Amino acid sequence: MGRTQATPLPGGALADPTRAQRHAHEGILRRQAAREPAARTYARALPIVPVRARGLTIEGADGRRYLDCLSGAGTLALGHNHPVVLEAIRKVLDSGAPLSALDLATPVKDAFLTELLRTLPPDLAERAHVRFCGPAGSNAVETAYALVRAATGRDGLLAFTGAGWVRSTGALDDPLEDAHGVAIPCLPSPQDHRCHLGAVGDDGSDLVPRRTESLPDQLRQGAPLPAGVIVEPVRSEGGVVPAPDSWLARVRQFTADRSIPLIADESRTGVGRTGAFWAVEHSGVTPDVMVLSNAIGGSLPLAVVVYRDDLDTGHPGTPAETFPGNQLAMAAGTATLAHVRENALAERAATLGAGMLDQLRPLVSEFTCVGDVRGRGLMIGVELVDPGGDSPQGERAPAPSDARGPVAGGGAGAPVTPGSGPHRHRPHSAAPELAAAVQQECLRRGLIVGLAGRAASVVQLLPPLTITDEQAAAVLDRLADAVRAAARCRGGGTAAAR
């Protein structure tokens, strides 16, 4: 990493690195490049060597400090090394309790389950079973799929494009396959700003539900109903796209009418991130299955599947898991869940996130290279576009027969969805190089951000729920300054010619 100027942080100054610090920093990065594969993701864009961290702040081996708005890809609901998390971990370590206990009952697991059930939507909590699985969200998705396959006796999932676990932009005519070779169709996800069906504005949120609801007509031609339908309330890796509440309600009705289990993947959205403890609560929808990961482990690897008790087939021990009993993660998770609940951090995320979106939204009118600002709570995305590029291939106007009015919805607490601002035009093509430039300009200013979206063209903010007002102001200042710098260097310009 090239040398950058020191950037002052709230609560302390950032000193220039010493020669020894630079040498240590560069040596570790050099050895990483030699020893690890080119498939490294975050490390390639963020050449940082963290040695200390607290709350929002990371200090690197080179002595520089950063505001971390990546938060371990959303795993750090309370930021780095929060005192309640450290205390919970130390308590388990000092007690002599086993650190891994398979699926045996332990006091630590009992406390975790008690706190988790306390936070769940009531209609699910009162009849919930909890399945511990491998520690990643993808493990939990696989476990949820196995669960609904066994419960329904059917194969296949119905998914939506842009999901973090899908790793595909295919639609019904380009399906994924599960481990059994069964097709997993991916229907278009609702998105006003960049609708897969080519609609502009609110029409995108109406076309997609009607496409979903037309699926039974296709299934009558011989294909069976799927074992389940899986949705993300906010597509994080898909570009920070909140699903409209009305769309989730229609999907819930569609699945309930056909006895298809609805799976909500809350790996990224749970534990207060979106301004509600669980993102499905915004829409009033109660899923049959919830996939939970990331923040529920309090910064340590943990994933569970929560499901209605009548989906339990009663076949014990299948499939077997080696690491479902991580006691440190359960203790850290219990502390995190309780702290978020007791301190109303979800409500604070809603208020602070809305204010941050309000302050970022003028970037759309200031720069032609900013195509959209969107998000919910403290999941925020800024999409970078090529103002001189053509509209993305395949984005067309809907046929006249598809044109209907917008779906009703909105009001207090509604997400800032794509196309909801004044820029109701056909979107420009994505600008991943410009987004990467913004990410690097942020890094130079002491701000760590992620990239998301199909083309990695969305700058993503996932700050911890404990971020202060002062820190939020610093984040916004640095991000806006980074966008201006990248736009000047790459011809993003002002919005005069939008």
Beta strand pairing status for 379-386 and 370-376? antiparallel
pLDDT the model gives residue 171:
34
Listed residue (293, 250, 283, 281) closest to 160, CA to CA: 250
- For residue 414, the model assigns a pLDDT of 53
- Looking at residue 163, its pLDDT comes to 67
Instruction: Provide the pLDDT for residue 411.
Output: 37
Rg over CA atoms, the chain: 23
- At residue 139, what is the residue type? N
The confidence score (pLDDT) of residue 206 equals 60
Beta strands in 398-449 (DSSP E): 429-430, 447-448
pLDDT per residue as tens, the chain (498 positions)? 343 444 444 444 355 678 888 889 999 999 999 999 888 888 889 999 999 999 999 999 999 999 999 999 999 999 999 999 999 999 999 999 999 888 899 999 999 999 999 999 999 999 999 999 988 888 899 999 999 999 999 988 888 876 665 543 333 334 455 555 555 666 777 766 555 544 444 555 565 556 555 565 555 555 678 899 999 999 988 899 999 999 899 999 989 999 999 999 999 999 999 999 999 999 999 999 999 999 999 999 999 999 999 999 876 555 556 667 799 999 999 999 999 999 999 999 999 999 999 999 999 999 999 999 999 999 999 999 998 765 544 343 333 333 332 222 333 345 654 444 444 456 788 999 999 999 999 999 999 999 998 789 999 999 999 999 999 999 999 999 999 999 988 765 665 444
Helical segments of 322-449, H only:
327-342, 345-360, 362-366, 432-444
Place of tokens 């998705």: 141
3-state secondary structure of 72: helix
pLDDT at 495: 54
pLDDT of residue 492: 57
- Looking at residue 423, what is its pLDDT? 43
The pLDDT assigned to 220 comes to 52
Q: What's residue 10's pLDDT? A: 44
Contacts of 361 (CB under 8 A, 6+ apart): 373, 416, 421
Distances (CA, A) of 346 to 275, 338, 464: 5, 12, 11
pLDDT of residue 173: 38
For residue 55, the SS3 value is: strand
Give backbone dihedrals phi and psi of 262, rounded to 5 degrees, phi first: -100, 125
What residue type is 81 in one-letter code? N
pLDDT score, position 421: 44
> Rounded CA gap, 246 and 253, in Å?
11
Phi, psi for residue 141 in degrees, rounded to 5:
-65, -45
**Cα–Cα distance for residue pair 331/270, rounded to 1 Å:** 18
Q: How far apart are CA 206 and CA 226, in angstroms?
A: 23
- 318-325 long-range contacts (CB < 8 A, ≥24 apart) are 319/143, 319/146, 321/103, 321/132, 321/133, 321/134, 322/102, 323/100, 323/134, 323/135, 324/102, 324/103, 324/132, 324/133, 324/134, 325/100, 325/101, 325/102, 325/103, 325/104, 325/106, 325/109, 325/132
Strands 289-292 and 262-265 turn out to be parallel
CA dihedral (326, 329, 334, 339) in degrees, to 10, reads 180
Look at strands 370-376 and 157-160 and give their pairing: unpaired
Phi, psi of 459 (to 5 degrees): -80, 125
- Report helix, strand or coil for 144: helix
Residue type at position 162: G
DSSP string over 191-216: -STT-TT---TTHHHHHHHHHHHTHH
